[in-house]
Structure 1
């Protein structure tokens, strides 16, 4: 482990609070000195903000991340104009907890949405609420999907558009929407296009204040559906580059059937990939709307996925498990006023809990001490920063699924995983030498050398979180 690492807060040499407030102070100081791109972030009115969240889009399924055939020209362009975090993760690889992490800047053990059945607590404070108090026009458009008594009365939101069909998952085709307190039939057949329409309408509203748009798509969640001309676009690809252990019927064995992965894995995978490209097209339409209206220069655009997805790796499908394919997400940020090296790739580990404090930081507002994430704003201007060297992954039982409670520590080089089930013994991987996590080092000489420090790290992180 890195010397000087503060286990309680995850930052070398300083506490999390010191890091957050030092970061905000340094941005303000640089703004006062006239560094391009920081002046508006440190004083009102702040920059506009657009956060685009997809569902189940894993980190390596973009053209700019080297996928062999998936076409994502809009996401690639966003990365070329901004920065891409190549090691971005979620604190829990599951829809509801991850979404709450993005909104609150807190881990699931703090915000309380531990799985897809524990309800959202209306006392939770979101970055939208705080930005509204700071003078922003705000909108939540798209997938809510957190348990509770229906859709929330979300504080600090001027426009609220969501859906409850399919237990909150929504439908790709003809999905009714809840728009500012009233139900409306869909105006477009395909939901990704419909949500993008609402997003552009919000951007186009007459205003004299900055805006913050939270746009959460259903795509690319199961049941994968793409419209023309994307439907079937990858049917002619014979070698899908699926992992060698992914047999065509893996979705029907070893409890994988509970995830609804009925059918041949290659066929489902093609549908997934074409749905990604359909999403990318609508993302391009939104970016074009920003740029054509002269808003691109002063708008922070963030694109991320709520978790990854397993396509047969380790003989598994879906997410939840602590493998890289499950916990790692795309994370791209464009902000022309601040990013001084477009196309930069950043290898430091960022988390979904970092979004909220970062947006507040860029708006010139100190993140509240209740937030557990860190502001990654300094990375955008290529500044050196002391950063986390390890973090806690947690996944709580989510009935009726058979995944146990999982806790893991992920460092820059290793991952150690424990569960509460004797059927799933501990796992330890050297991420540098074994990025696909095929060789469990528990019981080996290399594992014996690394295990004691990793186990101590995991136990302390769990203790600090109140889990043990």
Structure 2
């Protein structure tokens, strides 16, 4: 009789990851965000900001005149730090933290260890702009699945956080987030456009 112990190798899959205390289900996350939103974010009826008439370099001047810009006084806070990274058309199984061994993502894997890792997170739609409207507003793609900017009555996640005392920032390398009429930077205390991507001829040149 062999005394050797058989090693049982558990196959890791993307769909059935091992449970971890740091993991948060999508239902838990939505419930948390809904709770924050229910605490009282209502835009005043007197705010009539014609954002579509403003060029990208001007910012939201009408909003800035009515609201003081807040700067974090200290790095110490009892509030959680939230960093949301959005990468277009990036599959989860191309990340080490979700089981990929072929593609190396050491920095994001290390970041994931210190963060809340969603066990099952899926985009609600495929087109770029509708998906990003979901990220910013929490609204369903259906029935609002058109390729269109934020509506005037849409309340963004940044606005919810700002109302609850968070200082927010938005760093993006694609112009359509700031494009007049789209205004995905709405509600952020600061924003930065990292130039040189897509059809930004100021950086990439006229051949593009």
TM normalised by structure 1 equals 0.25
Task: Name 2:192's counterpart in structure 1.
Answer: 161
Contact 1:120 1:146 in 2 (8 A): no
Q: Aligned to 1:140, which of 170, 194, 201?
A: 170
Task: Name 1:71's counterpart in structure 2.
Answer: 104
Contact 1:129 1:157 in 2 (8 A): yes
Task: Name 2:137's counterpart in structure 1.
Answer: 104
Higher relative contact order structure (alpha carbons within 8 Å, sequence separation ≥ 6): 1
Cα displacement (A) at 1:119: 3.4
Contact 2:177 2:183 in 1 (8 A): no
Cα displacement (A) at 1:78: 2.2
Contact 2:136 2:184 in 1 (8 A): no
Cα displacement (A) at 1:144: 6.2
Contact 1:118 1:147 in 2 (8 A): no
| Partner SS, residue 99 of structure 1 | helix
Q: Aligned to 1:56, which of 89, 107, 110?
A: 89
Q: How does 1:7-406 map to 2 (within 5 A)?
A: 21=35, 46-109=79-142, 112=144, 114-115=145-146, 117-142=147-172, 143=174, 145=176, 149-152=180-183, 154-162=185-193, 170-171=197-198, 175=200
Greater fraction strand:
1
> Distance in 2 between the 1:74 and 1:99 partners?
24
> Distance in 1 between the 2:92 and 2:107 partners?
15
> Distance in 2 between the 1:64 and 1:96 partners?
26
Contact 1:144 1:162 in 2 (8 A): yes
> Distance in 1 between the 2:117 and 2:184 partners?
33
> Distance in 1 between the 2:184 and 2:134 partners?
18
Cα displacement (A) at 1:151: 4.6
Task: Give the number of aligned pairs.
Answer: 137
TM normalised by structure 2 equals 0.51
> Distance in 2 between the 1:122 and 1:144 partners?
20
Cα displacement (A) at 1:158: 2.0
Cα displacement (A) at 1:137: 2.0
Write out per-residue CA displacement over residues 251-310 of structure 1, whole angstroms, 9 at most, x where no aligned residue: xxxxxxxxxxxxxxxxxxxxxxxxxxxxxxxxxxxxxxxxxxxxxxxxxxxxxxxxxxxx
Q: CA RMSD in A?
A: 4.0
Contact 1:95 1:145 in 2 (8 A): no
> Distance in 1 between the 2:111 and 2:140 partners?
28
**Which consecutive unaligned segments of at least 5 residues does structure 2 have?**
1-25, 39-76
> Distance in 2 between the 1:56 and 1:74 partners?
19
Cα displacement (A) at 1:100: 0.9
> Distance in 2 between the 1:137 and 1:148 partners?
23
Contact 2:95 2:109 in 1 (8 A): yes
Q: Residues 153 and 49 from structure 1, CA distance in 2 versus in 1: closer, same or farther, beyond 3 angstroms?
A: closer
Q: Residues 62 and 48 from structure 1, CA distance in 2 versus in 1: closer, same or farther, beyond 3 angstroms?
A: closer
> Distance in 2 between the 1:131 and 1:147 partners?
20
**Which consecutive unaligned segments of at least 5 residues does structure 1 have?**
1-9, 25-43, 177-184, 190-468
> Distance in 2 between the 1:89 and 1:124 partners?
22
Contact 1:101 1:108 in 2 (8 A): yes
Cα displacement (A) at 1:45: 5.6
Moved over 6 A (4+): none
Cα displacement (A) at 1:154: 4.3
